[in-house]
Structure 1
Amino acid sequence: MEAQKYGKIVDIPFPNVDAYATETQVEDSGRKIVEKVLEYSPAAVLCQGEFTLAFQVINMLLDQDITVVAACSERIVKEVGNKKESYFNFKKFRKYTRR
């Protein structure tokens, strides 16, 4: 399994983000997540979830020199009658980088 290359896998659930949350509230949530993540001294972190919170978490982890990755998948869409079904076929991880 691709993720095992980075060591032990620990799932930390991403919280729901209220649509009316302020930027400050989202940043505070991000800080709490990062504190919890850092307790595990991770080799890498897969960060997925609500976009503005993920952005905060990713940047905070990069500030700590933690490798942060995204799952890269191939999307397969099948039309069944007038309904579309999407399937995602994992291909690899891609690192977040800064310029």
Structure 2
Amino acid sequence: MLINFTNHPSNKWSKEQTMAAMKYGTIHDMPFPAVDPAQDENFIGELAQEYTEKILELKPSAVLCQGEFSLAFAVTKKLKEQEIIVLAATTQRAADEVEKEDGTMVKTVHFKFMKFREYGG
């Protein structure tokens, strides 16, 4: 099982990303929590422990972990200590800018999934 611990539900993924994820088994979405920027490191540590325990209960073969940086780092570290494969989704970014008649610019950004990359040692 791949746990999708992000804010991007797997039912909105591209066919390519879904197929790459299936290498790890079924996909289980676990929404990444909103993190109050005013919170301190102790709060992040407690939240990381809470979510790591929830993830480990599901016995995943891999976890896609992306979200607020300090929490994602803390969860990734804890999962790696338990020898769980932790992944990041890599994308190719393309941006288009169009000038409207009133002179304002509209920027549209597209992200194309490329592959999953395992977090290193």
Scaled to the shorter chain, the TM-score interval is: over 0.9
Q: TM-score, normalised by structure 1?
A: 0.96
- Give the CA deviation at 1:83: 1.6
1:73 aligned residue (91, 112, 115): 91
Distance 2:73 2:90 in 1: 17
- Give the CA deviation at 1:40: 1.1
Amino acid paired to 2:38 = Y
Distance 1:71 1:84 in 2: 23
Q: TM-score, normalised by structure 2?
A: 0.79
Structure 2, gaps ≥5 residues long? 1-18, 100-104
Amino acid paired to 1:3 = A
* Runs of 4+ more than 4 Å apart: none
Distance 2:49 2:26 in 1: 22
The structure with more radius of gyration = 2
- Give the CA deviation at 1:38: 0.5
Distance 1:85 1:30 in 2: 33
Distance 2:71 2:107 in 1: 29
Instruction: Calculate the aligned-residue CA RMSD, in Å.
Output: 0.6
Residue 90 (1) aligns with residue 108 (2): no
Identity percentage over the alignment? 47
Residue 31 (1) aligns with residue 49 (2): yes
Q: Which has the higher contact order (CA 8 A, sep 6+)?
A: 2
Distance 2:61 2:32 in 1: 19
- Give the CA deviation at 1:84: 1.1
Could you say which residue in structure 1 is the equivalent of 2:16?
none
Distance 1:40 1:8 in 2: 12
Distance 1:16 1:2 in 2: 27
